Amino acid sequence: MNKVLILGGYGNFGKRIATALTKSGIAVIIAGRDEKKVQDLAAILPKGLSEIAVFDVNKNLSSELEKLKPAVVINTCGPFQESGYEVAETCINHKVHYIDISDGRKFVTGITAFNEKAREAGITVISGSSTVPGLSSAVLEHYRQEFSEMDSLKYGISPGQKAERGLATTKAIMSYVGKPLSPFSGKKKIAYGWQDIYCQEYPGLGKRWMANCDIPDLDLFPAHYGIKSIQFSAGLELGFMHLGLWLVSWLVRAGPPIHLPNYSAPLLRISNWFNIFGSSDGGMHIIIKGKDKETNHVQL
């Protein structure tokens, strides 16, 4: 039976992927360094469709691929902002299909360097199978036939406070809060992480604060769709938490030697204290402006 090896399989996203795959009858191998967590997840998955593998992906992946012989590897071991391509390269060397859930801008755009090597190995390498650029590009693909030109794209996500948040995701956000972002289409001045805040109205949810995030779409979409102006933002449901992080971004921008990712674990614990004040309801908005087939100005 072909199996899917999920690296970081008991993490926030890994366990969701494992659950979804096994519900569809696809066998999985849950991999991670913590044996108890691996076993706990495998115990609640359908019998006969899961097995476990306890190892350090940074040390033993090659030997484990030889032993486990998966058809596909799904890499959920973020934050990818701090990662290299060792896992992807190892999968290519073993001729195993590779997918990751990276939303790291440099990581996703840079993985194209392995196109030729993947083709020679006869395998597929996919990076960015996450909300961005995975889901966001699916929306653009759905609507692209309604446009002759896509001039601008303004979009973002705002998860509910009670939505489960992983440490890797927190570290990823903290890596660019208050930091200058690489240039992107439509932004003449330097953009900074978690700044340029605005309020977005969501039907049924009300207004939520939004702020700059550094994601692969900022490079991928202008190149692929010809978009002249792009802005992506994310927001927290609780306004005081969002604005608190916005104030921190100004502190980082001022220049003190603060490395926010080091504080991700305590900040995540503190944020969870306020779950009682939030909900599980999140939203995503996408506003596309451009010209239709008759060159009329349109907005979706």
CA gap 9, 94 in Å, rounded:
20
Indicate whether 172 and 98 sit together in one domain: no
Indicate whether 183 and 274 sit together in one domain: yes
pLDDT at 298: 87
pLDDT at 273: 96
State which residues form the domain around 97: 3-126
Query: Which CATH number goes with the domain that contains 41?
Result: 3.40.50.720
pLDDT at 1: 66
Indicate whether 211 and 111 sit together in one domain: no
pLDDT at 170: 94
Q: Are strands 283-291 and 97-100 parallel, antiparallel or unpaired?
A: unpaired
Indicate whether 144 and 286 sit together in one domain: yes
Give the residue carrying structure tokens 């202008």: 222
> Which has the closest alpha carbon to 170: 9, 3, 12?
12
Indicate whether 138 and 98 sit together in one domain: no
Indicate whether 122 and 137 sit together in one domain: no
Indicate whether 139 and 281 sit together in one domain: yes
CA gap 98, 288 in Å, rounded:
32
Ranges of residues in the chain whose predicted pLDDT is under 50:
none
Task: State pTM to two decimals.
Answer: 0.91
- Report phi then psi at 123, rounded to 5: -125, 165
Query: Which CATH number goes with the domain that contains 288?
Result: 3.30.360.10
- Of 84, 102, 126, the position where a domain reaches its end is 126
Indicate whether 174 and 279 sit together in one domain: yes
pLDDT at 248: 96
Indicate whether 120 and 185 sit together in one domain: no
* ω into 180 cis (within 30 of 0): no
The two three-digit tokens of residue 126, written as one number:
């996919």
pLDDT at 122: 97
Whole-angstrom CA distances from 90 to 62, 131, 161 are 6, 25, 37
